């Protein structure tokens, strides 16, 4: 596999994933890009930057080098609130309320498109 380094005989496949860091760490930002006029901003990825101004500049350089967007938002990642995975089950259950779906109502053909 191209960029996966094979495990040499006698070496361990496990790698360390944490270590001491010296110096300050730039906070993380979520990046949203509007691809063209008329469509919503869509989450495209994240990046690190010291402040919102630099985050915007970095977002332009990292995510829109080839005209991918006409507008960019950056939002501090720590401000994003999300459902826990278990809460997502409620969404699935909501799909059981079929009476909310237009297609569950039978309309005679004679009345035409509705």
Partner 1 sequence: MSPEERFQSIVDAEDKIEPTDWMPDAYRKTLIRQIAQHAHSEVIGMQPEGNWISRAPTLHRKAILMAKVQDEAGHGLYLYSAAETLGVTRNELQELLHQGKHKYSSIFNYPTLNWADIGTVGWLVDGAAITNQVMLTRCSYGPYARGMVRICKEESFHQRQGYELLIKLCQGSDEQKALAQDALDRWWWPSLMMFGPHDTESTHTEQSMAWKIKRVSNDDLRQQFVDMTVPQADYLGLRIPDPGLRWNEARGHYDFGEIDWDEFWAVVRGDGPMNRERLAHKVDAWQEGAWVREAALAYAEKRAGRSAA
The two structure tokens encoding residue 86: 């278990």
Q: DSSP readout, 18-59?
A: -----S--PPEEEEEEE-STTS-EEEEEEEE-SSHHHHHHHH
What does the alpha-carbon distance between residue 54 and residue 66 come to, in Å, rounded to a whole number? 19
Instruction: Please state the closest distance from residue 111 (CB atom) to partner 1, in A.
Output: 39
What does the alpha-carbon distance between residue 29 and residue 80 come to, in Å, rounded to a whole number? 10
Instruction: Please state the closest distance from residue 104 (CB atom) to partner 1, in A.
Output: 26
Residue number with CB closer to partner 1 (57 or 107): 57
Q: Give the footprint of partner 1 on residues 57-86 (CB under 8 A).
A: 61-62, 65-66, 82-85
DSSP state of 9: T
Q: Does residue 20 touch partner 1 according to CB under 8 A?
A: yes
Residue number with CB closer to partner 1 (9 or 108): 9
Which residue ranges make up the site for partner 1 (CB under 8 A)? 1-9, 11, 13-21, 23-26, 28, 45-48, 50-51, 54, 61-62, 65-66, 82-85
């Amino acid at each position: 596999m191209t960029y996966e380094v094979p495990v040499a005989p006698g070496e361990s496949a496990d790698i360390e994933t944490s270590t001491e860091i010296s110096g300050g760490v730039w906070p993380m930002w979520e990046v949203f890009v509007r691809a063209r006029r008329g469509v919503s901003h869509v989450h495209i990825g994240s990046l690190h930057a010291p402040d919102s101004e630099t985050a915007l500049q970095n977002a332009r350089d990292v995510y829109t080098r080839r005209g991918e967007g006409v507008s960019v938002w950056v939002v501090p990642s720590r401000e994003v609130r999300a459902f826990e995975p278990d809460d997502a089950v409620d969404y699935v259950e909501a799909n059981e309320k079929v009476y909310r779906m237009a297609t569950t109502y039978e309309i005679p053909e004679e009345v035409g498109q509705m």
